[in-house]
Chain A
Amino acid sequence: MTVLDVDVTGQRGEFTVRAQLSAAAGEVIALVGPNGAGKSTLLRLVAGLVPAQGCVRIDGTDMTAQPPERRPVGWVPQQSALFPHLTAVDNVAFGIGGRRARSHSLDWLERLGIAELATRKPAQLPGGQAQKVALARALARQPRVLLLDEPLAALDAVGRTDVRRTLRAHLSAFDGVTIAVTHDAVDVATIADRIVAVDSGHVVQDDSVAEAMRRPRTRWLASMLGSNACHGHVRDRGIDVDGGGRLVASDLPPAEDAEVLVVFAPQAVTLHSRPPEGSARNAWRVVVRDLVDAGGRVRVDADGAPSVVAEVTPAAVAELGLHEGALVWVSVKATELTVVPL
């Protein structure tokens, strides 16, 4: 059953956002895209905080002309925005009317595991707990659409894990639609069922998480999800990479001259100190630009045609004598390349 159906154009300053999106009950959408792509503006359009042309339908009712207070929408902005003059429980009760508002709010804090913080003011709450209160405040109104603007961005690693667990538990029980803006591949993988990627105010991809991870359609999304990606054109049974280089892939789309995005994982990239021999048909020279620790592994950023990110063990770094400015060979098996027609 379709809960949210959006086809809107909205203006924020000089910037125009145009988006079409529909979502069924229970769906959790990760809204991703570069800074300034229009993610927050899209949330504001749905919430009614930015005037929209077009159509915003919730449960089949046209909400386009309704002000935010009449829409069944919960919004949690980036800095949680708890009212500093109200305690946690009064913050939650603020959105619910009637005599039972307070006990109802306590129930919600209980459900999110923070009932003992009910009488604290926001200034006395750690970031993660404040975010949970903000979530309780939005959920307590039983909205049909829940909008989360980077719910974990302002938190430290511990708070992030904690709030992510809470989110996962409560979003799976939530029967409305959730749209969560995020920059974090872990959030996408653990919370969302669907990815909507936006760029320059437009939706550029709308797929299930699994499909978007396998076949991202923009370089930005590929690199957010931790993959290598380069644009190119199919020529003569291979791919000429824009900006130089040539790659051969096993699954090649038939159309000659088709524009494609070639995607491959950093783990699929092998480094060599000499020109590689054997089955890897894609091999080229690169210059190491940067070496970054990635939790026990080492991420190697290297410039070349095309530039790549590789992930290797510290032992391999020592063995190959890698350092910034080192000249090495990289190879990627043709079977490791995914070719996404654009």
Chain B
Amino acid sequence: MRRRTPLGLFTPALIGVAFLGIPLVAVVAKAPWSDVPGLLWSSDARTALRLSLECSGGALLLSLLIGVPLAWVLARVDFPGKSVLRSLIMVPLVLPPVVGGVALLLAFGRHGLLPLHIAFTTWAAIAAEAFVALPFLVLAVEGALLSLEPQYEEVAATLGHGAFATFRRVTVPLIAPALAAGSALAWARALGEFGATVTFAGSLPGTTQTLPSDIYLELETNPNKAIALSVLLLFVSVLVLFALRGRWRVSR
């Protein structure tokens, strides 16, 4: 027998859908559609877009370079304090991004623990974005490594391949779907990063002013342009979600 959906659950659920859906609809509904192409094509919008793509691409590259080996170590090597390290890597997921920016400033800023003199440069924007994007990639890749049958890597060893060759020729191809999904999520997170970036890198047009900080500043002076840029980012987010189609799971 099918039971009727109780109203006490149905109503809040419907409110939830409206709460999530209406803002998205509003961006689309309120967009000055006739002006959108012109607004997006303006030179400073193009600069912000190009910078955003460069920074998020750089952040993804950095995340891959350090995140994949990190995930491999977490999945394959036993050492004391591993669970602590894993929690540490997950911190940026829950840390307020602005706090992340402050932390980066205190670590790598001019008077930081390890002064790299990159604060308020494009490198700082890349670092800030990688800081928040990294956990997404590590989670996806580690989950895939843990669920991978160890036999494939063992067979590769008996076929004469050392650990690194095995990783490159067997492990990476086998986890490719998870690697792609993790990359898409990490990239999307980097593209939308705002709090850590403005704190650590500032918002200098052409150097560190990415789309989100551009939107934030334009909202005061040129709201139509802010909305047009928001439509663009919303579109990109939906595209990423569509490409993933629920493939991403944090599996242990």
Residues of A within 8 A of B (CB): 47-49, 67-69, 71, 73-75, 77, 79, 81, 83-85, 94-95, 97, 137-138, 141
Q: A81-B149, A83-B170 are in contact. List 8 more A-B contacts (CB 8 A).
A: A49-B154, A67-B157, A68-B157, A69-B161, A81-B151, A83-B173, A83-B174, A94-B156
Which listed residue (B152, B154, B162, B170) contacts A75, Cβ 8 A? B154
The answer to whether A69 touches B152 (Cβ under 8 A) is no
The answer to whether A137 touches B159 (Cβ under 8 A) is yes
The answer to whether B160 touches A69 (Cβ under 8 A) is yes
The answer to whether B157 touches A94 (Cβ under 8 A) is no
The answer to whether B155 touches A69 (Cβ under 8 A) is no
Q: Smallest CB–CB gap between A339 and chain B, Å?
A: 43
B-chain residues with CB within 8 Å of residue A81 when the two chains form the complex: 149, 151-152, 154-155
**CB nearest neighbor in A for B160:** A69
Which listed residue (A74, A79, A83) contacts B158, Cβ 8 A? A74
The 7 closest A-B pairs by CB, nearest first: A95-B159, A68-B157, A81-B151, A75-B158, A85-B173, A81-B155, A68-B158
Chain B positions 149-200 with a Cβ under 8 Å from a chain A Cβ: 149, 151-152, 154-162, 169-170, 173-174, 176
Give the secondary structure class of B's interface.
helix
Q: Smallest CB–CB gap between A285 and chain B, Å?
A: 51
B-chain residues with CB within 8 Å of residue A94 when the two chains form the complex: 156, 159, 161, 169
Q: 9 A-B contacts, Cβ less than 8 Å apart?
A: A49-B157, A49-B158, A69-B158, A75-B155, A77-B151, A81-B152, A83-B156, A83-B173, A141-B160
A49 to B151, CA, bound (A): 10
Give the secondary structure class of A's interface.
loop
Q: Smallest CB–CB gap between B138 and chain A, Å?
A: 23
B-chain residues with CB within 8 Å of residue A75 when the two chains form the complex: 154-155, 158
B-chain residues with CB within 8 Å of residue A137 when the two chains form the complex: 159
A141 to B152, CA, bound (A): 17
The answer to whether A84 touches B154 (Cβ under 8 A) is no
For chain B, the count of residues having a C-beta within 8 Å of the partner chain is 17
Q: Smallest CB–CB gap between B103 and chain A, Å?
A: 40
**CB nearest neighbor in A for B154:** A49
A138 to B160, CA, bound (A): 11
With contacts A83-B170, A85-B173, A85-B174 taken as known, whether A95 is within 8 angstroms of B151 at the C-beta atoms is no
Q: Smallest CB–CB gap between B96 and chain A, Å?
A: 41
Which listed residue (A48, A49, A141) contacts B159, Cβ 8 A? A141
A49 to B159, CA, bound (A): 12
B-chain residues with CB within 8 Å of residue A83 when the two chains form the complex: 152, 155-156, 170, 173-174
With contacts A79-B151, A81-B151, A94-B169 taken as known, whether A73 is within 8 angstroms of B156 at the C-beta atoms is no
B-chain residues with CB within 8 Å of residue A84 when the two chains form the complex: 174
The answer to whether A77 touches B154 (Cβ under 8 A) is yes
A213 to B156, CA, bound (A): 37
The answer to whether A69 touches B157 (Cβ under 8 A) is yes
A-chain residues with CB within 8 Å of residue B158 when the two chains form the complex: 47-49, 68-69, 71, 73-75, 138
A211 to B185, CA, bound (A): 64
Q: Smallest CB–CB gap between B48 and chain A, Å?
A: 40
Chain B 141-155 near chain A by CB (<8 Å), digits 1 or 0:
000000001011011
B-chain residues with CB within 8 Å of residue A49 when the two chains form the complex: 154, 157-158
B-chain residues with CB within 8 Å of residue A71 when the two chains form the complex: 158
With contacts A49-B157, A85-B174, A94-B169 taken as known, whether A69 is within 8 angstroms of B162 at the C-beta atoms is yes
A144 to B176, CA, bound (A): 35
A-chain residues with CB within 8 Å of residue B157 when the two chains form the complex: 48-49, 67-69
**CB nearest neighbor in A for B173:** A85
Q: Smallest CB–CB gap between B79 and chain A, Å?
A: 17
Q: Smallest CB–CB gap between A24 and chain B, Å?
A: 22
Q: Smallest CB–CB gap between A229 and chain B, Å?
A: 35
The answer to whether A95 touches B152 (Cβ under 8 A) is no
A68 to B160, CA, bound (A): 7
**CB nearest neighbor in A for B158:** A75
**CB nearest neighbor in A for B174:** A85
A-chain residues with CB within 8 Å of residue B170 when the two chains form the complex: 83
Interface centre among A48, A81, A137, by most B CB within 10 Å? A81
**CB nearest neighbor in B for A81:** B151
Q: Smallest CB–CB gap between A4 and chain B, Å?
A: 15
A67 to B176, CA, bound (A): 27
A67 to B157, CA, bound (A): 8
A-chain residues with CB within 8 Å of residue B152 when the two chains form the complex: 81, 83
B-chain residues with CB within 8 Å of residue A68 when the two chains form the complex: 154, 157-158
The answer to whether A77 touches B160 (Cβ under 8 A) is no
A85 to B173, CA, bound (A): 7
A95 to B159, CA, bound (A): 5
Interface centre among A69, A79, A137, A138, by most B CB within 10 Å? A69
A84 to B173, CA, bound (A): 9
A135 to B175, CA, bound (A): 25
Q: Smallest CB–CB gap between B214 and chain A, Å?
A: 42
A-chain residues with CB within 8 Å of residue B149 when the two chains form the complex: 79, 81
